[in-house]
Structure 1
Amino acid sequence: MICESFPVGPFQCNCVILACEETRTAVVFDPGDEADEILGSLARHQLKAVFLFHTHAHLDHIGATDLVRTKTGAAAGLHEEDMPLCENLHIQASLFGLPTPPTPPIDRFLKHGDSFSFGKEKVEVIHTPGHTPGSVSFHVPAFGLLTGDTLFAGSVGRTDLWGGSHPTLINSIQKRLLSFPDETAVLPGHGPRTTIGRERRSNPFLV
């Protein structure tokens, strides 16, 4: 599997590109900013993006979606419960004094248990609400977990923003993420990689 991960934008969201090495079809996760960097990475690896999937609809995870979608023709996916955030990017941007990106059309509403193929690889949707109502994590069997702003290395997502709930967040992590084996790789929405085992043993919010 081809994997490219790089932080984008002022909030340094981890944008992740995973692709089938044989077919060169790719999924872009959380295209939050710096569309030229994302498009450049796809071009360098000669990849065709088929999906733009989002862990949630905060500005830093969805800001470049409209442009990347227009340039690639990839289908944008988001959990329906985060549509109020997607439809109010102007409010999100104003809170930080940032320009408002275009609101992207959402082609697919992601649901817990959905599975999508890209070439010979697949990605599974896990609804993990708490950071936002529609937060999801993604399980790519050949790679591991992409947890967005639900679970970080040594921390968890904040819950003091619109729609956040700390008890719901912890329940999502304990019931749906910690069910994976200890060796499962975790790539959060910000910061370094970790593993389920490391977080199970030492994350202060979970022990």
Structure 2
Amino acid sequence: MILKKFLSGPLAVNCYVAADEATKKAFIVDPGGHNADMVNYIRENKLQIEYIILTHGHGDHIGGVPAALEEYPGSKLVACLHEKAILEDPNMNMSKMTGGVALSLKADHYVTDGQSLKVGDLNLEFLHTPGHTPGGMCIYVGDAVFSGDTLFLQSIGRTDFPGSSYLAIKESIENKLFTLPDDTTVLPGHMAPTTIGFEKENNPFV
């Protein structure tokens, strides 16, 4: 898998571009804002963006979606079914507060726990991991998992928002993420990457 991280949006969200090396078919995870370096990288590497995938609907993770859909008109927006209400409601997704523009988004594909999607030869498995938001999800691909704001390096996502739940996020991490192999790389929405094994031993919140 070809993988590149870009900081995007006012809150410097980790936005990822991932591609199947053989076919150059690719997807973007959590475009928090427009990033010219990302656009140039995709163009220079001749990547074909098929999907824009959201781990959850908070404004700092979705601010760049309109620009990305315009830049890659053949791409489809993917989100968890349980995040539909947050994506559509600017008050719930806090997009104006985080990015200055009120956004209401509708995904082309709403997915549920355990569903998968092929991008070239890559198999993407969607894991519903509520807690930070009701429809938070992680994306498991090969030996890596895009964890959004569910799991961070020695931390977890905030649970003081409407619809958040500490018990739910703890259960999501223990029952979904911590069942993945220990050497799985965790690619979070903020901060540095980590591994499942390291977090099992060192995360004080779980």
* TM bucket, shorter chain: over 0.9
Task: Determine if contact 1:63/1:101 at 8 Å carries over to the other structure.
Answer: no
Deviation at 1:82, TM superposition (A): 1.4
User: Secondary structure of 2:56's match?
Assistant: coil
Moved more, 65-74 or 12-21: 65-74
Deviation digits for residues 36-92 of structure 1 (CA, Å, limit 9, x no counterpart): 343222112110100111100001111111221122121001112212221223661
RMSD, aligned α-carbons: 1.5
Deviation digits for residues 123-151 of structure 1 (CA, Å, limit 9, x no counterpart): 1100000000000001001x411100000
Match for residue 93 of structure 1 among 83, 92, 95: 95
Task: Determine if contact 1:90/1:100 at 8 Å carries over to the other structure.
Answer: no
Distance 1:34 1:24 in 2: 21
The answer to whether the aligner puts 1:81 opposite 2:82 as a matched pair is yes
Query: What's 1:48 paired with?
Result: 48
The total of aligned residue pairs comes to 204
Q: 1:105 to 1:41 in 2, by over 3 A?
A: farther
Distance 2:164 2:11 in 1: 19
Unmatched 5+ stretches in structure 1:
none
Amino acid at match of 1:52: I
Task: Determine if contact 2:89/2:103 at 8 Å carries over to the other structure.
Answer: no
The answer to whether the aligner puts 1:182 opposite 2:185 as a matched pair is no
| Correspondences of 1:155-174 after superposition (within 5 Å) | 155-174=155-174
User: Secondary structure of 2:176's match?
Assistant: helix
Query: What's 2:113 paired with?
Result: 112
Distance 2:38 2:190 in 1: 16
Runs of 4+ deviating beyond 4 Å: none
Unmatched 5+ stretches in structure 2:
none
TM-score w.r.t. structure 1 length?
0.93
